Amino acid sequence: MAAVKRGHRDDLSDVAPLAKKAREPETAEQRVLEIIKCSGNKGVSDEDLIRACPVLTIDERVDVVNKLITSNAITLHKVKDTLRYKYKGPTASTPGDANTEELVVFNLIRDSGRKGIWIRDVRIKSNLGLPRLKKILKSLETKKAIKAVKSVAAARKIVYMLFDLEPDSSITGGAWYSNQEFESEFIEILTKHSYKFLEAKKSKALKNTTIRSPLVKYNTSYATADRVLEFISKTGISKVRLTVEDIISILDLLVYDGLAAKRVNSEGKLEYRSTKTLLSRNAVSFLPCGSCPVIKRCSDANQLNCLNCKHMKIWTTI
């Protein structure tokens, strides 16, 4: 029994220096930071820190956490009425003079990324009252930490995101919107120029006398969206920066209108080729009767007839 007691005293003598060393500020900060960093996106709560660092007193733990938050090493999040600390890493800088509530709101907005977050969602997740939340948002906007962006999906809907982020196209509408207004004329111009390029590409391929194989001529008459984008960029008709995805959406319009065909090449890229409609259209083909879903009920004997048809009246006044 004496040996056991002596061994127990030896263990305590070994732990005491470690406990004292763990209380040193620099070592404590490194230890707490490593614990939070290893937790990943889950983060740690105060209870987790108490279990992981039992040698730290309450005042020491609070002091270490506050220093890490002030130095932007960690961030504060509210998850189901529990405050959790997460490792920040190489992300956007947090306002240095932000209080606890501002940090919670800032982190919610930062986590939303380029799509932003609606004020209602911030209020629900932060559990803050609307008047208080509006003051916090105004304060963060003044500090240029966040910004408000209007969404094209709803005229009155405003989302918040980090000040330096470029809004997602789902929020701004991308290249097809200007000041929240749909640019139909711009799309029509792009469609015409894209079709013009495809027609020139096909004509050049078919007139190439050095190629005798009809199959090779057919394959070379296709063009990728990258080539169309390059052509559009050289014309200078677009004042905004277009992407390949934007051009694909324009080319798909040509496909839907029966003016182009598309396929996937051996590299996995979409290719487009101009086509011509099987039947030429004249003035009669534009009559609304041709696409009327109740044409069978249209008769002089019925109330529904061409004399009181609103679609016919519109067509005759064009």
What digits encode the pLDDT tens for the residues 138-197? Answer: 988 888 888 988 877 666 778 898 887 778 777 776 677 666 666 778 888 899 999 999
pLDDT tens-digit readout, 57-107 = 888 888 888 888 776 678 888 777 778 888 875 445 566 667 788 888 988
Confidence tier at 4 by pLDDT (50, 70, 90): very low
Strands 146-150 and 177-178: unpaired
Q: What is the longest distance spanned by two Cα atoms in the chain?
A: 117
Confidence tier at 282 by pLDDT (50, 70, 90): low
Number of continuous H segments (helices) and E segments (strands) in the chain? 13, 10
User: What is the arithmetic mean of pLDDT over 36-47?
Assistant: 83
> Using alpha carbons only, how large is the chain's radius of gyration in Å?
33
pLDDT at 224: 92
User: What is the arithmetic mean of pLDDT over 262-271?
Assistant: 88
List the structure tokens of 203: 């004509």
Does the pLDDT value for residue 291 go beyond 50?
yes
pLDDT at 35: 87
Average pLDDT value for the chain: 78
User: What is the arithmetic mean of pLDDT over 297-317?
Assistant: 78
The neighbouring-strand residues paired with 273 are 261
**Cα–Cα distance measured from residue 86 to residue 38, given in angstroms and rounded to the nearest whole number:** 9
**Cα–Cα distance measured from residue 239 to residue 248, given in angstroms and rounded to the nearest whole number:** 18
**Cα–Cα distance measured from residue 287 to residue 306, given in angstroms and rounded to the nearest whole number:** 11
Range name among 91-105, 241-255, 261-275 with the lowest pLDDT average: 91-105
Smallest CA-to-CA distance from 85 within 76, 96, 94, 93 is with: 76
Comparison of pLDDT for 59 and 291, the residue scoring more:
59
pLDDT at 273: 93
pLDDT at 280: 53
User: pTM value?
Assistant: 0.45
Q: Contact 161/109 with Cβ under 8 angstroms?
A: yes
Range name among 33-42, 155-164, 178-187, 216-225 with the lowest pLDDT average: 178-187
Task: Report the share of the chain in percent with pLDDT over 90.
Answer: 10
**Cα–Cα distance measured from residue 177 to residue 151, given in angstroms and rounded to the nearest whole number:** 11
**Cα–Cα distance measured from residue 152 to residue 175, given in angstroms and rounded to the nearest whole number:** 12
